[in-house]
Amino acid sequence: MKVETRTVLPRRFAHRAATYRDPTDLLAVALPIVEHALRRDAPVVLIASPDTERLIAEASGAARTTGGFVCLPAPPDGLRRCGQTVAARRAAQLRELTDRAGPIVVLVEHDLRHGPLDEVAWVEAEAATNIAVAGMPVTMTCLYRKPVSAALVTALRRSHPQLLGPDGAVLDNPEHREPAEVLADHPVAALPVLGPPDREFTFTPWQLTDLRTAVAEIAFEAAMGRERAEDFVLAVNEVATNAVEHGYGTGLWQAWTRGHRVVCEVHDGGSLARPLPGLKLPHPARSRGRGIWIARQLCDLLHVWSDPDGTHVRIESARS
Amino acid sequence: MPDTANGVGDTLALTKTVAEISRGDHACVVMDSDEQHWEVVAGYVRHGLARREKVVVFDGERSATPVLRRLAEDRLDVDRIVRTGQLTVVPPDAMTWMWSASTEEIVGLVSATVDDALAEGYPGVRLTNEPAAGRSDRSVGRLGEIDRAVDSALRARPATLLCQYERRHWAGSDLIRLGEQHEVDVVAPALYDDGLLRVTRAAPFCTRVAGEIDFSNRDLVRTMIKKELDQALRAPSPSGQVEVHLESLRFADVTSVVQFVQVAAGFPESHHLVLHGAQPAVRRLLDRCGAAFSGQLVLREADPR
C-alpha cells in the first residue's frame, strides 16, 4: 500500500505570528520554517523586503532545493491604507500557487519601516487575511519586528490563532478573535477624502444602466482599454447593485478622474451584515454573494467601510 | 375601428413580420423600445440585402450606430456592405433638411434615391428612417401629407418603405391616423421587453436575448429558461437543447450569469442549455462563474460572418 508521507503541512489555513529583534534574530526564527518546508518540497512564499528575501534565500541555500522560493512583489503605494485589498490580492496569488503546487508555506515580514501598509491598515489586513485565505492549504507565519507598536500589537494578538514560542514551538493563542470581532473593536478606516467629485448622481435599481453608461464614459476618458473598462464597469455595477439591494433602494455614485486613473465611490444608507464582504470565494452552489468577490478581482482597489451614515465603497482602476 | 396588436387601426392593413415585407410594400411599425427599433431595422436591412436590394437608412436624432452594431451582431459584414454601397446611411443633416423642405422636395429626394439605386443595377430599393418624434413641427397632418405624396410617387416602382413611429411620442389616436396611411402593419412580437432587455423567440426552444440584464430584471432569466426547459421536456420530439442567443446581450451582471450556470446545472441529463455567441465581456464572466465546469451548459461561438 502506498503511503502518502507529505501530510505534515496543514491542509487548511494556519496563521501564526512570531517576533524578532534584528535580521539575525529574524533568520533564527525563519530558517527552521523554511528548511522544514523545503525538505518536503513545499514551495516557500516570501513577502518581505528585498534584503530579507536575499538573507533567507542565501542562508537556506534555496537555489539547490527542488521546492524553491516564490517572492511576491510588494503592493503598490496606492494600497498603503487599504489592508483589505492587499489581503485580497495576496489571497488571489496564493490561490493560484496552491491550485498548482498544493500546500505552501508563507513568511511575511512585518516591519513598519519597510512594510507596504500604513499602521492604521495593519489590523484590517490581518483580519482580512483570515477571511480571504481561509480554506487554503497555506501555513503563514507573520514575523513582527520588535518593538511592536500599539496598533500592530492588536493585529498580532487578535488575528493569529497560533503563536511561535522562542524555541519555535507552535502555541495556541488565547487572545485570538474572529475577524468580525476584531473589526468591531477596530473598524475599517475611511480612505482620505478626495474633494468634490467630477461627477455624481443618485440611483435606484432602474438607473443602474445609466450608472454603467457613466462609468463607461469615464473609463473611456481615462483611455483604459476595452477589456479593462468593461471589467471596471462590471465591478462598479456589482457594488452599486449591493447598495440598492442591501441599502434602502437608492445609492449615491461619485467619480473622479485623475489622468489614466478612475476612482468611483458608492454610498448607501444600509449597514453591513459582516465586515469586509467579498473576500472569501463563495461556494459554487451559492447564487448570491459572488458579485463583490469578482469585483475585487477586477479592479486595482476596492475598499469597503461603514459608519453611522451607512456603507461606503471606493473602487479604483487605471489603464494597465 | 379595431386596433391591431400595434395599436394602429386600419382594417385594410395587412399584418406582416419584418421577414414577410415584400417589394413594393409601404409598411409602418410602432416601436416600444430601442431594442425593438434596432431589431426591426436590422431585420429590414438584412432581408433587403438578402434579396440583393439596395437599402437606404435615413439617419436621425438617435444615430444609426446602434443599428449597425445590431447588424454586426446579426453576423453581417457591415464594413463590406457599407463600402460597396449596398447599405447607405444618409447622415442626419438630410433628415433635418427634410423636416424643413416642401413635400415636393421630399418626394424629389426619395424618387432620386430610387432612380440612383436602379441605375446602379439593383433590382429594388428599401428605404427607412429613424422613428419620427411627435413634435409640433412633425404633426400627424404633415406626416400624413408626406406619406401620401411619397406613396403616390413610388407606387408601381420597385421600392419598399418602412415608416417607424415611437409609441411614447404619439397619442393613440395619432397612431391610428398614421397607421391608416400604410397598407402593411409590421409586428415584432417579443416574449419580454422592458426597454432594457428584450427577449424574442428565434425558433422552438430557441430564444434571443438583447440588451442588458441587471438587478432590475434578472429574475426573468431564470424563469424564462426554466419555462423553456419545461416546454422542451413536454415536447413530443424533444431536441435535447434549450438554446439562448446572446449575440446582442451587451451586459449581464454576476448574479444573472451565475443563474445561467446554475439553471443549466439543474437540467436533466437528457437536455443541455446552449448559449450562443456571448460577447467577450459576458464570455469572460461566464468563465469566472464556472461555466466550464457545468456539464449541462454548452457555450458556442457566434457563427462566422
Q: Is A241 on the interface with B (CB under 8 A)?
A: yes
A199-318 matches A14-185 in CATH topology: no
Q: What is the nearest CA distance from B254 to chain A, expressed in angstroms? A: 5
Average pLDDT, chain B: 88
Kindly report the nearest CA distance between residue A133 and chain B, in angstroms: 19
Cα–Cα nearest to B128, from B18, B12, B52, B51:
B18
Report how far residue B151's alpha carbon sits from residue B24's, in angstroms, rounded to the nearest whole number: 10
Q: Roughly how many angstroms between the first and final C-alpha of chain A, as a whole number? A: 52
Q: Which residues of A touch B251 (CB under 8 A)?
A: 209, 212, 233-234, 237
Classify A265 as helix, strand or coil: strand
Are A291 and B253 inside 8 Å of each other by CB? yes
Region A6-30: mean pLDDT is: 83
CB contact under 8 A, B216 and A206: yes
pLDDT for A250-295, tens place per residue?
A: 999 999 999 999 999 999 999 988 889 999 988 877 777 799 999 9
Q: Where are the domains of chain A?
A: 14-185, 199-318
Q: Count how many pairs of residues, chain A against chain B, have C-beta atoms within 8 Å.
A: 59
pLDDT at residue B144, as a whole number: 84
Q: Is pLDDT above 80 for A1?
A: no
Q: Is A92 on the interface with B (CB under 8 A)?
A: no
Q: Read off φ and ψ for residue A142, nearest 5 degrees.
A: -95, 125
Closest A-chain CA to B265: A285
**Record: fold of A14-185:** Rossmann fold (3.40.50)
pLDDT for the residue numbered B229 = 84
User: What Rg value do the Cα atoms of chain B yield, rounded?
Assistant: 21
A88-109: average pLDDT:
94
Residue B247, pLDDT > 80, answer: yes
Which three three-digit cell numbers place residue B137?
413641427
Q: How far apart are CA A139 and CA A13, in angstroms?
A: 6
The answer to whether A237 contacts B214, with C-beta atoms less than 8 Å apart, is yes
> What pLDDT does residue A42 have?
87
Domain B193-300 in this protein, CATH class: alpha beta
Quick check: B216 and A227 CB within 8 A? no
A207 pLDDT band, cuts 50/70/90, is very high
The minimum CA-CA distance between A95 and chain B, rounded to whole Å, is 14
Q: For residue A226, what is the nearest residue in chain B, using CA coordinates?
A: B281
User: How sure is the predictor about B228, in pLDDT bands with cuts at 50, 70 and 90?
Assistant: confident
Q: Which of B253, B279, B284 to mutate to test the interface with A (most CBs of A within 10 A)?
A: B253
Domains of chain B, by residue range, sit at: 14-188, 193-300
Return the exposure string of A251-265: e unless at least 16 CB atoms fall within 10 Å of the residue's CB, then b: bbbbbbbeeebbbbb
A-chain CB neighbours of B281 within 8 Å are: 227, 230-231, 234
pLDDT value of position B166: 86
Residue-wise pLDDT tens digits, B32-73: 999 999 999 999 999 999 999 999 998 876 678 999 999 999
Residues A154-184: pLDDT tens digits?
888 899 999 998 888 999 999 999 999 999 9
**pLDDT at residue A4 in the model:** 39
The tens digit of pLDDT for each residue in B136-171 reads 456 788 888 888 899 899 888 999 999 988 888 888
The whole-number pLDDT of residue B211 equals 97
Pure H helices in B51-201? 65-73, 78-83, 92-100, 103-119, 140-154, 172-179
Answer for the pair B275, B297: CB distance below 8 angstroms, yes or no: yes
Angle subtended at Cα B8 by Cα B4 and Cα B9, rounded to the nearest 5 degrees: 70
Mean pLDDT over B266-284 rounds to 93
Q: Provide the pLDDT for residue B155.
A: 87
Q: Would residue A168 be called left, alpha or beta, if left means φ above 0 and alpha means ψ between -120 and 50 degrees?
A: left
Q: Do A290 and B212 touch (CB under 8 A)?
A: no
Residue B173: which pLDDT band, with cuts at 50, 70 and 90? Answer: confident
Residue of B nearest to A293 (CA): B254
A284 neighbourhood in chain B, CB within 8 Å = 290, 293
Closest residue to B251, CB basis, from A205, A206, A212:
A212
pLDDT tens-place string over residues A46-77: 998 888 988 988 888 765 445 578 888 888 88
A133 vs A88, A120, A171, B217, CA distance in Å? 8, 21, 20, 34
Please give the mean pLDDT across all residues of chain A: 89
pLDDT of residue B284 exceeding 90, the answer is: yes
- In this predicted model, which residue has the larger pLDDT, A4 or B104? B104
pLDDT confidence band for B7 (50 / 70 / 90): very low
Highest mean pLDDT among A263-272, B11-20, B259-268 belongs to A263-272
Three-state secondary-structure class, residue A112? coil
Q: Does B303 score more than 80 pLDDT?
A: no
Mean pLDDT over residues B15-24, rounded?
94
The answer to whether the CB atoms of A244 and B254 lie below 8 A apart is no
Residue A114's pLDDT is what? 65
Q: Is the peptide bond before A205 cis (omega within 30 degrees of 0)?
A: no
Chain A residue with CA closest to B288: the answer is A294
Contact residues for A194 (Cβ-Cβ < 8 A; gap 6+): A256, A263, A265
Would the CB atoms of A209 and B214 count as touching at under 8 Å?
A: yes
A202/A177 Cα distance (integer angstroms): 38
Out of A209, A230, A294, the one facing B281 most closely (by C-beta) is A230
State how far the Cα of B186 lies from the Cα of B6, in Å rounded to an integer. 8
User: Are B134 and B99 contacting, i.e. CB atoms less than 8 angstroms apart?
Assistant: no
Q: Which fold has domain A199-318?
A: Heat Shock Protein 90 (3.30.565)
pLDDT at B5: 44
**How large is the average pLDDT for residues B192-206?**
92
- Enumerate the residues of chain B whose CB falls inside 8 A of the CB of residue A237: 214, 251, 253
Which residue in B117, B64, B51, B121 sits closest to B90, CA to CA? B64
**Res. B135 pLDDT band, cuts 50 70 90:** low
C-alpha cell at A171: 502555541
Helix, strand, coil percentages (3-state) for chain A, rounded to 5, are 40, 20, 35
Question: B14-188 maps to which CATH number?
Answer: 3.40.50.300
**How do residues B85-120 score in pLDDT, each as one tens digit?**
999 998 888 777 877 889 999 899 999 999 999 999
Q: Which residues 260-289 of A have a C-beta within 8 angstroms of B?
A: 284-285, 287-288
- In this complex, the residue of B196, B214, B281 whose CB is nearest that of residue A241 is B214
Nearest C-alpha in B relative to A216: B251
> Which residues of A fall within a CB distance of 8 Å from B293?
284
Mean pLDDT of A201-215: 97
Partner B, chain A 195-224, Cβ-Cβ below 8 Å: 205-206, 208-209, 212
Rounded Cα distance between A11 and B119, Å, is 78
- Residue pair B42/B67 in contact by the 8 Å Cβ criterion: yes
Among A30-44, A123-137, B175-189, the range with the most confident prediction by mean pLDDT is A123-137
Choosing among A95, A204, A208, A244, which should be mutated to test the B contact, i.e. which has the most B CBs within 10 A? A208
Judge if B14-188 and B193-300 fold alike in CATH terms. Answer: no
Helix or strand run (H / E) with residue A24: helix A23-39
Q: What is residue A158's predicted lDDT score, i.e. its pLDDT?
A: 92
